[in-house]
Each structure stands twice: as structure tokens, then as C-alpha cells.
A and B are shown apart, each in its own frame.
Chain A
Amino acid sequence: MTASAVTERQYQGQAHEHSRRLMTAWMQELARAESERRPTGALMISGNCVELLRACHILPMFPEVTALQNAIRKKSLPLILKAEQAGYSSDNCAYVKADIGLFLDGGMGPGRPMPFPTITVCNYVGCNVYVKWFEHLADVSGSTLFMLDVPFARTPEPSPADVQYVVAQLRELIALCERVSGHRFDIDELREILAHAARAEDGYARAKQLCKHHPAPFDAYFDAINLMGPINVLRGTPEAAEFFDQAVTEFEGLVAQGLGPLREERFRTVVEGPPPYPFYKSFRNLFARWGAVAVASTYSTVGGIWEWGFRHDPRRPLESIAEQMLRENLTNRSIVARYAQIKRYVEEWHPDALVIHSIKSCRLFSAGQGDMRDYFTQRLGVPTLMVESDLEDPRYYAEAQLKNRIDAFFESLEHKKLTASAAATAWRAAAEGEASGYER
């Protein structure tokens, strides 16, 4: 490294603590669900319809969140191995293996810390693994599987047929939920929940816009995890809406003081791809020591791309849920549509580089990222770093190799910056000379 390493400010912020509190409360609710005889519904994060389950008084559970939490706590490998012993391939998405492994390991089911879902709602929003995962989860848990088929975004706007198909399925889901929970669905209750959701979405979007500032008040990749729980899991609750209002106030305060997550923001990046949860902190440090802060990320939009302005609309409850699932999230869009999303981040958030974290487990994100790199480097001239590991399986994380790649990349970026700024100084001097020449 040519310059001295940048350190974190050791400031986690209130948003971090607040988010943790809310998420813990939700986990506790889940742990009590069985004894309280509350029905639960498994959902996927991407473009989900959590508001609908909430309105049906079904407690949502998210196997992806359980999987990532186990990875962060370094508990994922034994679960993955259990699933592999049962026949899952080393090439299958490790999220699924960690989840099924949890069941095989006795961590899920009646009387266990994680209940079985009463219903398994597969919001098939882009990811084909979701279909398999929930087929398997329904198989082990014996719960009713509802396949909520969301047509992939393959036209500029969803067609009327797409919207009708999703809305019809949402109605069928409501009927199923009523049967399971014994609670009569009330559209006005859903409207109220959607109003809370829209407020949270607004807050999430405002927080992201604040990262256009130099320095960005938080890391839109590594710190975004604190916001992703409330936006994807708790959306529709007044607590989540309140959380975002407070988080935005906190971030605005940081912007006013010119503070970011690091002592110095030397490089601004856009990050593409999920993080390596088993080595979250180590991976973060590899960037932090270079003063590299993510100002935008694609991963934070898997549940919804709120920064472009879409909000759930209480006046059009089912239609707006359908539209969000169909179009307003990263996972239901093509990888090439993601290039456009990143391009917009590049144009509006002014990063110095794009970092592609290629995840073996997640082909939805990764398959073809070499083409993405080609597009950004060759077509747009954006310095792009591509590194590879996994979001759940620690066996694919090679720290030394990653460090070498990351160091080499930022060294060269720093060099480019220095040369560019020297050239700019020279150019300015020459331009000033010319200007004064004219004056004469």
C-alpha cells in the first residue's frame, strides 16, 4: 500500500443498534409463535409481499435471513455439510443447504428455536432457486406450498396480463391465509400497512440519496445491511417506518458534519453482488483500509429499488404489490437491466470504481458478470474490480488472494488518481495562463 491505511471511525451509529433491536424482537416473536399458536408464513426476501401476510395476521419468516445470520455467526459450514451428506451438491446455492441443514441438524421444527412455517409462500421473483428451495422446505416441514409465480421483467413495463396474473394469485393467497389463520382479511387494514410500508420506502430512498454526498454518511454496501432488515422483513410496520425516519435524521446529521463511516473517504465505489457473510468484517476491512466506501450497491435493492421513486400505494393495494413484485426490485430484472441500474449509480453517485463480488452460490447475481465487467470497462471506461467468493459457504473465501487483488486494484486506482490530479493541475495552470494571455 502506498498510503497509510484508513481506519474506521469506530462509530456504529444509532441505526445499527436500532435495527438490531427491531430484528431481535421479530426473531423472538418467531421463537414464541409455536407456543402462542400463531401461524407463520415463510417468504423470500426478493420483491416480497410481506404486507399481505401481515394483513392476514400471519407472522412472516425469512429463511434467507436465518441462513445469513448463521453465516455471520460462523455456523453455516456444519449445516452446509449436513445437507451435502444428504445429497445436495457442492455446486448448489449454499443458502438452501444451510436452511435444509438446519432442519437436518435439529434446529428447525416443532419445539426447536426456528418453527416450521405453517404455509410456505414461494414468491418466485426472479430466482429459480427459490422454487426449488421452497419445494424442499415444504417437503421437510409438511407445510402447504403456495407458488406465487411472478412473471420476469422482460418488457419495458409489465403487461396487463402479467399484473392480472399476479393479482389473481394474491387473491388466492389471501383466501389460503384466511383459512390458515382464521382471520378475515380486511382490505383497509392492508391499506394502512401499505401506508407504513411507503413511509419506510421513502426513508430508505432518502438514506440512499444522502450517499451522493462526499463523504457518504454510511457505507451503502456494508452498512446497508442495517437498513435491509427493516425494509425487507419489517416493512409495513409503524416501527420500520419510524426506524427510517430516525436513520435519515442521523445520516443527515453526519452529512452536516462532513462525517462518513471511515476517517477518510479516499475512494467511492459501487458494489455489485451479495457480501460474503461468513467473513463480513474481514472483507469490509480489505476495502476500509484503502479508504474505499460504497456509495451505492445493487444488493441493497434485491427487495426493492426504492431510490427510483416507486412506493406501495394504499389506494391500489393489490395492484401496487403486484407492480413491486413484477418490476421494482433487482431480482426480477435481467442482468443487463442491472447494468443500466449500475450505470445510473455511476452517473449520479460519482464513484471512482465498480466492485463486482461474484458469488458462487448465487447464479442469479453472478452468472455472466464477466460480461458486465466487459461492459463497464470496455464500453464505459469505469475501473472495475471483480473478485469471487461466496455469501454463505466459508470454503470459497480465500482472504490472501482477495487481498492481493483488492490491493493491486486500489494501488493502480490511486496511481491513476494521482496522475489525473497532476495532469489537472498542469491543465489548470495552462488554462489560467491562456486566459491571462487573452486578457492581455
Chain B
Amino acid sequence: MTAEQILERAREVIGRPLGAAAERWKAAHPGGRAVAVYPVWAPAELIHAAGMLPLALLGGGGLELTHADARFQSFVCSIAKSTLELGFQGQVTGVDGFVFSNICDVARNLGSIYQRNFPDAFVEYLHLPQNSTSPAVVGYAAAELRRLADGFRERLGFAVTPTALAKSIEIYNALRARLRALYALRIAEPQALSTTELYAVLRAATLAPPEESIGALDALLAGLSQRESRPRDRLRVVLEGAFCEQPPLGLLETLEEAGCYVVEDDLLLGWRWFTGDVVTDGDPFERLGAAYVNQAVPSSTRHEGRQHRADGLIEKVRRARADAVVFMPAKFCEPALFDYVLMKQGLEREGIPHLLVEFEEKMWTFERTRNEIETFVESMLFE
């Protein structure tokens, strides 16, 4: 397949309901199970090692709410409501399990409310460690992963062996290496791969078995090296804050059309969570747990005691040779909005310009945002 074909296919795949991805896979794997994970990170490796299909549970985008808005108040982010709504509207039929974690108070409540409303589904809530420095943390993280594996065995009938887990970690290492390569390519030649395109392939990779995605990404990387494109006079920006609720594709397009090259972002961060390969010698549960603690990218949903929240972002800006940061938190997203303050102060100390643009997954007009971004870009490019 050519790069264009792969991109086209990715766009098509991400336009379908989540349940369709599960059903398609199950048709080829009779008796199989699919487990979807809510942002930001969950061990897809573990689901894969159990022989099940890992999927990302990313809300309903512009889905109209008929039930969930009576369950969650107006001051709650949209993705929580639309994720529940997916269940009410039967859009996740075929998905057998749902994994939530302690990213924020809303996600925490959503997990148990999801289980109450859909008692037949396998719903698990992970408490991912927030202490990054205790000598006890890795042991705890490994125990939490084992607990999830026990749940798969007891309630879904699929066990995880250490050998299978080590193998799955390797497969995901390979997938993440491709994703890192795509991100590196975008830093080097942002004209060769737009963010809308990168987002589409990345999201498509959350809807397919990793082996399949690895093949597609290899073909894409090969194809992109042939792509002819001329660099334009655009502002290189880091996009920060859209790690959970998904920005509409139209918004990402607007950002680019308004004069930005997004050279780094935290979109679908959990699927690119580790800064390097996770080692697989020794106990793989422990290795994966240790990697969560010691090899994680900076994130608004994980406390890092060894580094100031702003420093991670500043490093990202430098590494990507960006000129500015566009903060794009989802409306009502507490972790993103809190971090915004510390990160903004850090950027200001370093003299790095920034812009704040809030979004909602269901927004569909972008004119105001376009104006704001254009003004920002102009002020930077022509100052």
C-alpha cells in the first residue's frame, strides 16, 4: 500500500464505531474477546498477551447524547458523557471489557457508573501509582498489573503467561518504535506529514492488532520518505493538553491551516507512553510496572516527583525545535487546566510564547479558534 492509501484507510477506520473494530476482529478470531481502555495509559500489552484485542475507548466525538447527559452534570467534560452514551446507544457491542484508571475524579466515577449501568461488561479500574520515587512503587505497580491479568482470567477466561507478556511487550515496543519514528519525522519535516494525518494513523493503530499496525506503519514510513513537499513559513508549535478527550479532526486541521506546524503533541499519549523500549528480561509484570514509573513520558495524569511539570514541556519544546506552545485542554478537564498554570509559568520564565485554546469533542465550528490562532501566529512570525 502507498502512504496515501494507508492514510485514507486510517481515516476510514477511525470514522467507524468502536464496536465495529471489535466485531471485525472477532469475525476472524471466533471466541475472541476485545477490551477497550479509557485514556490515558493502560497496559495494552496485557490484553494482547491474553490473546484479546486491545482497543482505545475515546468517547463518542460528536455523538448526540440521549441518556448520559442526565447522568453527568453540565460541568463535566464531554468525553465522560459520550463514553457512557456509547454503551447506551449500543456502539460498543462486541467490546467485552473496559479499563479505566485514576487519571482524574471524573474518570474514576465514570468507571463505577459504567459498571452499574452495564453489569454484564467486564469493567476494571486500575490505580496507577502516583508516587514515582518510593522503593515500594515498582512492586506495587507489578501487583496491580497482575491483578488485572487475574481479572482477565477469572472473568473473561483468558490467562496471561509471563512468556506471552514478554512477547507482547516486544511487539508493543516495535509498534512504539514506529510511532516514535513518525514523530521524529514530523519534527524533521513537518511538511511531510501533517498532524491530522499522524493523528489518524495513530488512532487507527488503537483499533487494530499491533502486528497489523506495525506493517502499515512500516509501509507508511517508507512511503513518506518519497513524499514531495515544500516547507512553508509556519510556526512550529507543541500541542499540549489534549491527552484524554479527543479534539475533532476539524480543529487539528484549523490549527494547521491557521499557520502552525504541530511538531510535538500529547495526543493519544498512552499509546506512546514509554520513552524507550521496555526491557523484557526477568519478570515481565515487574518490567512493565517499572517502565510505567521510570520510563514514562511527562503527563498531566501522573505525578513525577523527580521533575517539575514545566520542565518536561520545556524539554519537549527544545527537542522539537518549537517556537511556541498551544495549550489545548478539553473544556472542564481538571488535570489539563491545573497543569496549564505551572507549565505556563515555566514557559514564561523561559520566554517561550504560548496560546490557550479550549475545545470540546463535539464542537463543529472553528472560526473563532482560527482567528485566535491566526492572530497568534502572525504576531510571532511577523514581529
Contact = CB atoms under 8 A, between A and B. Distances in A.
B108 A334 contact: yes
A405 to B, nearest CB: 15
Interface string B335-347: 1011111101100
Contacts of A126: 105, 108
B115 interface: yes
A135 B342 contact: yes
Contacts of B105: 126-129, 362-364, 367
29 contacts: A88-B338, A88-B341, A92-B338, A124-B303, A128-B102, A128-B104, A129-B334, A131-B303, A147-B132, A148-B131, A149-B137, A151-B140, A152-B108, A155-B147, A161-B147, A164-B139, A168-B134, A168-B136, A334-B108, A334-B109, A337-B112, A339-B116, A363-B106, A367-B76, A367-B80, A368-B106, A370-B69, A370-B70, A374-B71
Interface in A294-348: 334-337, 339
B129 interface: yes
Interface in A151-169: 151-152, 154-155, 159, 161-162, 164-165, 168-169
A369 B73 contact: yes
A89 interface: yes
Interface of A: 86-89, 91-93, 96, 124, 126-129, 131-133, 135-136, 139, 145, 147-149, 151-152, 154-155, 159, 161-162, 164-165, 168-169, 172, 334-337, 339, 358, 360, 362-364, 366-371, 374-375, 388
B109 A149 contact: no
Contact of A363 (B70, B334, B340): B334
Among A86, A92, A147, A155, the most chain B Cβ lie within 10 Å of the Cβ of A147
Interface of B: 69-73, 75-76, 80, 102-106, 108-113, 115-117, 124-127, 129-137, 139-140, 143-144, 147, 303, 305, 308-309, 329, 331-332, 334-335, 337-342, 344-345
B338 A129 contact: yes
Nearest to A152: B127
B277 to A, nearest CB: 26
A362 B104 CA distance: 11
A161 B110 CA distance: 25
B303 A147 contact: yes
A91 B334 contact: yes
Contacts of B116: 336, 339, 371, 375
A280 to B, nearest CB: 22
Contacts of A368: 71-72, 76, 80, 106, 109-110, 113
Contacts of A162: 140
Given A169-B134, A337-B112, A161 B338 contact: no
Among B70, B71, B125, B342, the most chain A Cβ lie within 10 Å of the Cβ of B71
Among B76, B109, B332, the most chain A Cβ lie within 10 Å of the Cβ of B109
Contact of B130 (A139, A149, A374): A149
Given A128-B103, A136-B342, A149-B129, A91 B332 contact: yes
B331 A91 contact: yes
Contacts of B75: 91, 360, 363, 366
A318 to B, nearest CB: 13
Contacts of B305: 145, 147
A336 B115 contact: yes
Nearest to A151: B127
How would you classify the secondary structure of chain B's contact residues: helix, strand, loop or mixed? helix
A97 B152 CA distance: 42
B131 to A, nearest CB: 4
Contacts of A129: 105, 334, 338
Given A128-B102, A168-B134, A371-B116, 14 more contacts: A87-B344, A91-B331, A91-B332, A128-B103, A129-B338, A139-B308, A145-B305, A169-B131, A336-B113, A339-B116, A363-B76, A363-B106, A366-B75, A374-B71
B338 A96 contact: yes
A127 B130 CA distance: 12
A367 B73 contact: yes
A87 B303 CA distance: 20
A91 B111 CA distance: 22
B136 A334 contact: no
A96 B335 CA distance: 13
Contacts of A91: 75, 331-332, 334, 337
A170 B95 CA distance: 40
A371 B117 contact: yes
In the A-B complex, the 10 residue pairs with the closest CB atoms: A161-B143, A168-B136, A334-B112, A149-B131, A132-B338, A165-B140, A336-B112, A89-B337, A363-B105, A151-B127
B134 A172 contact: yes
Given A139-B342, A147-B130, A370 B72 contact: yes
A387 to B, nearest CB: 12
Contact of A132 (B73, B126, B136, B334): B334
B144 A161 contact: yes
A358 B75 CA distance: 10
B25 to A, nearest CB: 28
A120 B337 CA distance: 22
A168 B104 CA distance: 24
A217 to B, nearest CB: 33
Among A92, A127, A159, A367, the most chain B Cβ lie within 10 Å of the Cβ of A367
B352 to A, nearest CB: 15
Contacts of A336: 112-113, 115-116
A159 B140 CA distance: 10
A148 B136 CA distance: 12
Contacts of B137: 149, 165
Contacts of A154: 124-127
